[in-house]
Structure 1
Amino acid sequence: MDKILEEDNIKLDLPVKINYGVLEDVLQKKLVGEQIGMEDSRGTVKNYVEVLGANLGKSQEFNFDLTLNLKLKTLTTLFKNKEVNLLVHLALGFNEVDQVIDIIEYELEGQSKNWLMDNSLETLANTLIYKKIKNKMKLDLKPHINEQLGKVNEKLSEEMETAPGVFLSGNVNILKVAQIIPGDTLLLILLEISAYGFIDIKEIKL
């Protein structure tokens, strides 16, 4: 009987919606104020740009999912304190085994009116800014999922009274992201859940 109770009897595909505004807030915390540069042979770091703002939305370009609009301030001697915009079109990738969301492809679009600055910015973006973005937007979901799984199972390990005399217990054995679907205004994440649970009625009140 106990073995039967411990077999997974609950299987769910649960959609979770994350608005791009929520992701934008996270990116702004990670990127705004960052100075991007590189270290020379003497170990001196030379910064080229500072990130002033970051906005995220659905990309209008074919084969891309998101567009990151970066507002940058140049720090070089030639273009000091010039504010420029850089659009980065991003294609998302998802490794289901490793549970990692990553950037697999990108395309740059400078928006300043100065042709020389655009080309200098594009060269810089290809070597430095893109690496920064790719690093900041790479998301390993496993630690977050394992943390939530632990919290859920801790609660389920003890009977929870859901109504007078009615108790719920069980265990979630599988909780993972099965698919990532970028939409027009939000990211849809499909969760795969496999668990066992049962309801124990200890009292019937008439």
Structure 2
Amino acid sequence: MYELFKNLGSWLVSGDQWGGTGGIAHRLAEHLEYSLLATLIAAAIALPLGLLIGHTGRGAFVAINLASFGRALPTVGLVVLVFLVAGLSLWAVYVALVVLAVPAIVTNTYAGMAAVDPEVKDAARGQGMRGHQVLFQVELPLALPLIMTGLRLSLIQVVSTATIAAYVSFGGLGRYVFDGLAQRDLVQVLGGAVLVAVVAVVLDLALAALQRFLFRHRRTADAH
């Protein structure tokens, strides 16, 4: 075991391992591209849906059940299915990652909106606020903590699952995992897994820092 981790350390810090199209830097860039783009697309779909459902109170049953269905779908199976329909392309990977990311964003956005005190919304309407003003000036700020939690959960899931790109012959950090398995190179497999875990933790910490900044800025604005 000691020898394995010693070899892993040498593998991670080797200058040769970081250069070229098969190097860690390039694979990391590919993995971040897959993960961030898929999460942004999922957020563009799920946030308006969750906000609309939470604001109007309509369609919650359908949305939550669809979200649960999407969460239960086997990601690799979905990739294979899209490949059979659309052919070999990265779109299959993106579709699978987006489907994976949408449920947590929808459910957390809806939960955050539903948790807003109805009396607060009634008071806002009593002051003459229109529907969109209540949504963006009252409900959304109060629901933001749960919305950010949903985004963080989705991003971590996507980063972890983006290794499937390598399963279907594309890049990313999953390349080390699948190539290492094919070559029976345990150091490479472990190195790929460690890199994916580190990326997930770093991105989660970055979003947590952003969340704290937004809330601190909001509290400062409220104080003034």
* Same-fold call, TM cutoff 0.5: no
The structure carrying a bigger helix percent of its residues is 2
Give the structure-1-normalised TM-score.
0.32
- Larger gyration radius, structure 1 or structure 2: 1
Q: 1 or 2, which has the higher strand percentage?
A: 1
